[in-house]
Amino acid sequence: MNNAIRTENLVKRFRKVEALSGLDLTVPEGSIYAFVGPNGAGKTTAIKILMNIVGATRGRAEVLGLDSMQLAGRHFASIGYVSENQELPEWMRVDAFLAYLRPFYLTWDRTLENDLVSQFDLPLDRKLKDLSRGMRMKAALAGALAFHPKLMVLDEPFTGLDPLVRDELIQGLLERAEESTIFISSHDLAEVESFASHVGYLERGQLRFSEELTTLVDRFREVELTFDSPPALPARLPDTWMQLNSSAAVVRFVESRFDAEKTATEILRVFGETRGSAFAPMTLRSIFLTMAKDGTKLRAGRSDS
């Protein structure tokens, strides 16, 4: 499978602040890739580098097989980009905005445009500056979908939108997902959990994981072990165990590489015999929080040392 987006050791510094620290990212063609991470993780910076809005300090990024630094003009005829903080020509009415965009794209689809206007219930006779935030995002999305882009890049498109508008936008996106790769950044997993096929988690400029959502959910388990008496906790735990805690004769942790057989063997090696064990699947949100807390703990440990 080809990759729609690929970065290698991407670094971006703003004076002394390192926004991206060696980002290696791969977004397969046809995927709906959720690029998640807390605010300030570097998602928007990464996207701006991908769109050649800002330059990288070091490293390389490819978008649709082209070095992102070469992205210009005609290349954007197959890329749709929508961002929460994009400055639209607000003096234009919605109909004028769409009419203005039309001639830039050979693949502009008037029928699709009309469908999107209708689906998003866009008020054509109102100026962009007079629209609510949600309506403005819908207008931007309509302008980015109507030419059948090969790649849709959306930077925090749902921030601050009410659930109804968010669902409409997601619906609009999903109906066109088959023909595009969708790369969508968000700081809220719940927004993207329902429809993403792949997920990447960025924290402090580093990608903590990036994989298909199904395999991610498959490999994370909340493990609960019960013992006859409180067990002795070993000084060194397996690297794949996270958030370990114990109370009386119960030990809980998150296994980040769950494999029924291997995990059971590892538990036996560490604790010996247990009275009982339970392995519960986790929601993406729980995985996200576990990773975030683990990262915080790691950082705290580093700064303490």
Partner 1 sequence: MRQILHVFRKDVRRYWREAAVSMALLFVHGWNEVHSWYHEKPLEIWGFFASRFLSGLVIALVPIAWAFLFVRVIHAEPLVGDRQFWVTRPYEWKKLLAAKLLYALVFINIPMLVLQVYLLAKAGFNPLTYAFGLVWMQGLIAVSFLLPVAAVAVVTSSVIQVLLTTLVIAVYLIGMAVLSSQIPSSSFSFWVDGLQADIFIGAALAIVFLQYARRDTLKSRWLIGGLGVAIFLILVATPYRTLVEHEYPRTEAASPMQLTLLPGGASGEGPLPSRENDAEIQLPLSLSGIAPGTMVQVKGVLVEIEGPDGLRWDPGWNSPGLFLFPDAKATQIAFKLPKRMFERIRDLPVRIRLSFAFTLFRDTNQRAFVVPAGEFAMPGVGLCTTEGGYRQTIHCRVPLRRPTSLLVSADMSASTCPIAKGDLPADPGQMARNWTSSGDSDPAELGISPIQTVDFYLNYSNPSSQQIQPGICPASSLVLSNPKAVASNRTAVELDGVRVGDYQLKPVEIGGYGFAIRH
The residue ranges that bind partner 1 (CB under 8 A) are 48, 51-54, 72-77, 79, 81, 83, 85-89, 91, 100-101, 103-105, 140
Beta bridge partners of 61: 7
Q: DSSP letter at 29?
A: T
CA-nearest of 136, 145, 5, 3 to 81 is 145
Six-digit token string for 174: 């999903």
Q: What's the closest the beta carbon of residue 78 comes to partner 1, in angstroms? A: 9
**What is the spatial distance between Cα 126 and Cα 298, in angstroms, rounded to a whole number?**
51
**What is the spatial distance between Cα 11 and Cα 249, in angstroms, rounded to a whole number?**
46
Nearer of residues 96 and 292 to partner 1, judged by Cβ: 96
CA-nearest of 49, 45, 47 to 67 is 49
Q: What's the closest the beta carbon of residue 87 comes to partner 1, in angstroms? A: 5
Nearer of residues 85 and 303 to partner 1, judged by Cβ: 85
Helix (H, G, I), strand (E, B) or coil at 153: strand
Nearer of residues 93 and 221 to partner 1, judged by Cβ: 93
**What is the spatial distance between Cα 208 and Cα 136, in angstroms, rounded to a whole number?**
33
Nearer of residues 74 and 236 to partner 1, judged by Cβ: 74
Q: What's the closest the beta carbon of residue 81 comes to partner 1, in angstroms? A: 4
Nearer of residues 35 and 81 to partner 1, judged by Cβ: 81
Burial 138-167 (b: 16+ CB within 10 A, else e): bbbbbbbbbbebbbbbbbbbbbebeeebbe
